[in-house]
């Protein structure tokens, strides 16, 4: 194919004017010369020389995800018909028939030109990023490498800008990775592979600012030229293609470039911030869900937020069997994975990972394939083997527990594990689990964990395995999906579990949705975070709980959720029979009281009422 963008440029200008007149701000953001690509793809010699051009609008994935592609295409085709009164364009005897689409991958086809030289210096200290360097040529950029070691990859830099007066402006911390040879000690120094004094860091490199402030500084300092600077640095947040050669290299990409949770979040969020997109509601969304038995969809809105005195991190959906709770929790990650825009309002949420958690070996979670764009982890009691879902054996669980603990140790998260498990284990038990002094003692540490594992209850072992699985995989801004976590647990354990779940979400600034049957779980949540799902025939419905559930009496929650008000409980039947048999209040209390345990206030009030009613009937 051959490009001929100049042929189409006059028409772009006219269409832009029409877009401005119509106040189509969203389309104007992408309909720019640097994004346009007119590609000649067919020539018909039999009809006076008709050339067919595919008009490609190349935009970044982060913009692509927030536009309606069909809407853009329809509006632009309509404008072309107005600008071009016939079906094709005739230029120099050549007919051009445009077709419009929005590209996804080629976000950086524009030409970027950085006119600042990049100098490289080194300081033999792993903690210095912000330091003056002797520079003779201004203005320029300086990458100050230090001796910080990410598993033998020395890739940390402090980036500074020296203005035309030689005044230094510190921009921030950045990591740069590349295929760098190791020295005799096995260490790989990236700065040695970057030639100082050039206008970019060179091919085969990939960089990432480690904080959002890094990107704010770049945009504040360089204004309209900020993309030129980021391109010269081979930034993979704004230009994802620079990461493609490294994404499958766990050692370089995940353990070095994205080692810190803040860096991973920065990679996702920086493009939005740089493009002026509001991030306040990036995790809030409405989900349109249709149970398999229904013809119509229902909508659930999740107003997740990390702000305020009481951040909105956790929702629950409660209802009877067969209403569609499990279908909901299993289809949601698939819709995110498949980018089913019709299922979400106003946009697909931007979670860093989706983590499904289940302590039931017979759960219905479907496991989508993990991609670079969609990170999905299943933490449960089964595994796919040769396409068949297989229940994990006790040995399988212990093996996975070992893998989880080693990953948690590598990520410096053992203390996080201690904090999150504290409601569920004693201090002595936690000491055995999380204390590992050095790498040399790892096998002894895991052997001690195995010894404890044999002594723990089945519930404790399940907690240890599942929470270690989550902590080994979680990132900031993850979405955790819990499928009936109360299964096989006694009431106290359910309450303690909710404490640990909230600690987990708080520690990793993440969010969760629980589907449940248990009023004990609902008691731990505010009413604004509780949905009741019901079904009448083939018609589903969902509503907010009609009472403040936080700390509420379990009986009241049960009646509200499961419509138990019309059901006569057994204790009422027993008391009514004893009263009708003529027994006195004192005699009934004596018969129902267990040793010295006092009868509940609710029961005594009910009994007094029944006795009083009997007296009134006699009178």
Between 108 and 227, the more confident residue is 227
Last residue of a domain, one of 77, 103, 129: 103
pLDDT tens digits, 209-248:
999 999 999 999 999 899 999 999 999 998 888 888 888 8
Residue 31 belongs to a domain: yes
Q: How confident is the model at residue 352 (pLDDT cuts 50, 70, 90)?
A: confident
| Same domain as 494, residue 360 | yes
Span 67-83, average pLDDT? 62
Quickly tell me which residue has 């040695």 as its tokens.
Answer: 192
Between 105 and 136, the more confident residue is 136
Residue 199 belongs to a domain: yes
* Confidence check: pLDDT of 30 > 90: no
The 3-class SS string of 274-339 reads HCCCCCCCCCCEEEEECCCCCCCCEEEEECCECCCCCCECEEEEECCCCCCHHHHHHHHHHHHHCC
Between 107 and 410, the more confident residue is 410
Per-residue model confidence (pLDDT) at position 223: 93
Cβ contact 329:483 at 8 Å: yes
Residues 301, 302, 306, CA angle at the centre, nearest 5°?
155
Beta-strand relationship, 479-483 and 511-516:
parallel
| Same domain as 576, residue 462 | no
Span 264-290, average pLDDT? 86
DSSP states along 551-613 = T--HHHHHHHHH-GGGSPPHHHHHHHHHHHTT--HHHHHHHH--TTPPPPHHHHHHHHHHHHH
70 Cβ contact partners less than 8 Å away, ≥ 6 residues apart? none
DSSP states along 483-504 = E-TTTT--HHHHHHHHHHHHHH
Per-residue model confidence (pLDDT) at position 87: 45
Span 275-295, average pLDDT? 86
Smallest CA-to-CA distance from 161 within 212, 229, 239 is with 229
Q: How confident is the model at residue 55 (pLDDT cuts 50, 70, 90)?
A: low
Per-residue model confidence (pLDDT) at position 10: 66
d(CA 550, CA 522): 7
Residue 351 belongs to a domain: yes
| Same domain as 239, residue 123 | yes
d(CA 234, CA 243): 9
pLDDT tens digits, 460-475:
999 999 999 999 999 9
What percent of the chain has pLDDT above 90?
Answer: 48
Per-residue model confidence (pLDDT) at position 285: 92
* Confidence check: pLDDT of 128 > 90: yes
| Same domain as 418, residue 358 | no
* Confidence check: pLDDT of 109 > 80: no
| Same domain as 254, residue 161 | yes
Minimum mean pLDDT range among 136-150, 265-279, 324-338, 529-543:
265-279
Q: How confident is the model at residue 197 (pLDDT cuts 50, 70, 90)?
A: very high
Per-residue model confidence (pLDDT) at position 34: 59
Residue 337 belongs to a domain: yes
Residue 610 belongs to a domain: yes
Cβ contact 43:1 at 8 Å: no
- Token representation of residue 86: 């016939």
Q: How confident is the model at residue 435 (pLDDT cuts 50, 70, 90)?
A: confident
pLDDT tens digits, 300-328:
999 998 888 888 999 999 999 999 998 99
d(CA 176, CA 209): 9
| Same domain as 91, residue 44 | yes
Gap between the terminal Cα atoms of the chain: 101
d(CA 447, CA 523): 39
Cβ contact 131:158 at 8 Å: yes
- Token representation of residue 77: 């085709």
294 Cβ contact partners less than 8 Å away, ≥ 6 residues apart? 324, 538, 539, 540
- Token representation of residue 356: 């499904």
DSSP state of 235: B
Per-residue model confidence (pLDDT) at position 148: 94
* Confidence check: pLDDT of 59 > 60: no
Last residue of a domain, one of 452, 474, 496: 474
d(CA 385, CA 408): 25
* Confidence check: pLDDT of 165 > 90: yes
DSSP states along 151-199 = TTEE-EEEEEEE-TT--EEEEEEEEEEE-----TTS-EEGGGGS-TTBS
d(CA 202, CA 208): 15
Alpha-carbon torsion (179, 180, 185, 189), positive or negative: negative
Between 20 and 232, the more confident residue is 232
Domain range enclosing 532: 281-375+476-563
Per-residue model confidence (pLDDT) at position 107: 43
Per-residue model confidence (pLDDT) at position 556: 87
3-state secondary structure of 142: strand
Which span out of 72-81, 99-108, 228-237 was modeled with the highest average pLDDT? Answer: 228-237
* Confidence check: pLDDT of 45 > 60: no
d(CA 233, CA 220): 17
Q: How many CA atoms lie within 13 A of 345 on its CB side?
A: 8
| Same domain as 362, residue 489 | yes
Per-residue model confidence (pLDDT) at position 94: 41
Cβ contact 127:148 at 8 Å: yes
Per-residue model confidence (pLDDT) at position 389: 79
d(CA 101, CA 196): 41
Last residue of a domain, one of 103, 136, 167: 103
Q: 96 has which bridge partners?
A: 51, 89
DSSP states along 39-100 = EEEEEEGGGT-EEEEEEEEE--HHHHTTS-HHHHHHHHHHHHHHHSSSSSEEETTEEEEEEE
pLDDT tens digits, 505-549:
999 999 999 999 999 999 999 999 999 999 999 999 999 999 999
Q: How confident is the model at residue 274 (pLDDT cuts 50, 70, 90)?
A: confident
Q: 205 has which bridge partners?
A: 178
d(CA 364, CA 377): 14
| Same domain as 500, residue 557 | yes
Q: 539 has which bridge partners?
A: 536
* Confidence check: pLDDT of 41 > 50: no
* Confidence check: pLDDT of 582 > 60: yes
Rounded to the nearest integer, the mean pLDDT of the chain is: 83
Q: How confident is the model at residue 373 (pLDDT cuts 50, 70, 90)?
A: low
Span 75-88, average pLDDT? 57
Our count of domains for the chain comes to 5
The phi and psi torsions of 101 (rounded to 5 degrees) equal -150, 165
d(CA 289, CA 335): 10
| Same domain as 575, residue 554 | no
| Same domain as 487, residue 436 | no
d(CA 171, CA 188): 24
Model pTM?
0.71
Smallest CA-to-CA distance from 423 within 459, 473, 454, 385 is with 459
Cβ contact 142:122 at 8 Å: no
Residue 515 belongs to a domain: yes
Residue 172 belongs to a domain: yes
| Same domain as 176, residue 206 | yes
* Confidence check: pLDDT of 98 > 60: no
Span 263-285, average pLDDT? 84
| Same domain as 491, residue 407 | no
Per-residue model confidence (pLDDT) at position 20: 75
Quickly tell me which residue has 């723990």 as its tokens.
Answer: 456
Which span out of 62-76, 274-288, 312-326, 430-444 was modeled with the highest average pLDDT? Answer: 312-326
Smallest CA-to-CA distance from 188 within 220, 145, 231 is with 145
* Confidence check: pLDDT of 93 > 50: no
User: What is the C-alpha radius of gyration for the chain, rounded to an integer number of angstroms?
Assistant: 31
Residue 381 belongs to a domain: no
* Confidence check: pLDDT of 611 > 60: yes
């Amino acid at each position: 194919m051959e490009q001929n963008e100049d042929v189409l440029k006059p028409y772009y200008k006219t269409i832009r004017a029409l877009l401005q007149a119509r106040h189509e701000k969203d389309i104007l953001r992408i309909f720019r010369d640097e994004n346009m690509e007119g590609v000649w793809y067919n020539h018909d010699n039999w009809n006076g020389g008709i050339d067919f051009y595919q008009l490609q609008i190349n935009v970044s994935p982060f913009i692509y995800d927030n536009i309606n592609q069909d809407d853009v295409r329809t509006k632009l085709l309509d404008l072309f018909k107005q600008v071009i009164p016939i079906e094709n364009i005739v230029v120099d005897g050549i007919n051009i028939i445009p077709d419009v689409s929005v590209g996804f991958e080629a976000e950086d086809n524009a030409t970027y030109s950085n006119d600042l030289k990049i100098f490289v210096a080194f300081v033999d200290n792993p903690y210095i990023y912000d330091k003056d360097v002797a520079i003779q040529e201004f203005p320029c950029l300086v990458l100050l490498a230090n001796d910080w070691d990410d598993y033998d990859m020395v890739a940390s830099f402090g980036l500074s800008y020296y203005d035309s007066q030689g005044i230094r402006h510190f921009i921030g911390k950045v990591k740069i990775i590349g295929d760098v040879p190791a020295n005799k000690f096995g260490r790989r120094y990236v700065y040695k592979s970057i030639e100082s004094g050039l206008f970019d860091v060179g091919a085969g490199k990939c960089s990432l600012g480690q904080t959002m402030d890094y990107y704010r500084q770049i945009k504040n300092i360089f204004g309209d030229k900020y993309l030129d600077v980021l391109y010269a640095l081979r930034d993979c947040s704004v230009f994802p293609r620079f990461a493609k050669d490294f994404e499958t290299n766990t050692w370089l990409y995940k353990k070095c470039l994205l080692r810190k949770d803040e860096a991973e979040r920065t990679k996702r969020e920086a493009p939005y911030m740089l493009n002026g997109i509001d991030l306040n509601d990036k995790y809030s969304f409405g989900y349109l869900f249709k149970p398999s038995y229904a013809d119509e969809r229902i909508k659930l809105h999740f107003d997740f937020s990390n702000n305020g005195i009481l951040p909105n991190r956790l929702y629950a959906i409660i209802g009877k069997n067969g209403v569609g709770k499990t279908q909901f929790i299993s289809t949601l990650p698939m819709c995110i994975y498949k980018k089913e825009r019709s299922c979400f309002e106003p946009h697909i949420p931007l979670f860093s990972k989706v983590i499904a958690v289940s302590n039931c070996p017979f759960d219905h979670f479907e496991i989508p394939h993990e991609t670079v764009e969609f990170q999905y982890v299943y933490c449960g009691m089964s595994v796919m083997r040769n396409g068949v879902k297989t229940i994990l054996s006790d040995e399988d669980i212990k093996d996975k527990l070992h893998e989880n603990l080693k990953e948690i140790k590598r990520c410096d998260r053992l203390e996080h594990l201690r904090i999150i498990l504290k409601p569920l284990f004693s201090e002595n038990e936690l000491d055995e689990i999380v204390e590992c002094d050095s790498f040399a003692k790892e096998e002894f540490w895991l052997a001690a964990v195995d010894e404890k594992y044999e002594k723990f209850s089945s519930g404790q072992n399940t907690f240890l395995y599942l929470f270690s699985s989550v902590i080994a995989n979680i990132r900031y801004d993850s979405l955790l999906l819990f499928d009936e976590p109360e299964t096989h647990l006694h009431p106290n354990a359910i309450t303690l579990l909710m404490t640990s779940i909230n600690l987990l979400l708080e520690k990793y600034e993440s969010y969760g949705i629980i589907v449940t049957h248990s009023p004990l779980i609902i008691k731990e949540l505010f009413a604004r975070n509780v949905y009741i799902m019901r079904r009448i025939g083939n018609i589903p419905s969902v509503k907010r709980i009609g009472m403040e559930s936080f700390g509420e009496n379990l009986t009241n929650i049960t009646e509200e959720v499961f419509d138990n008000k019309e059901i006569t409980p057994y204790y009422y039947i027993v008391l009514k029979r004893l009263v009708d048999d003529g027994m006195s209040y004192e005699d009934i209390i004596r018969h129902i009281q267990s040793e010295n345990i006092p009868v509940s206030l609710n029961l005594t009030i009910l009994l007094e009422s029944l006795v009083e009613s009997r007296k009134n009937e006699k009178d």
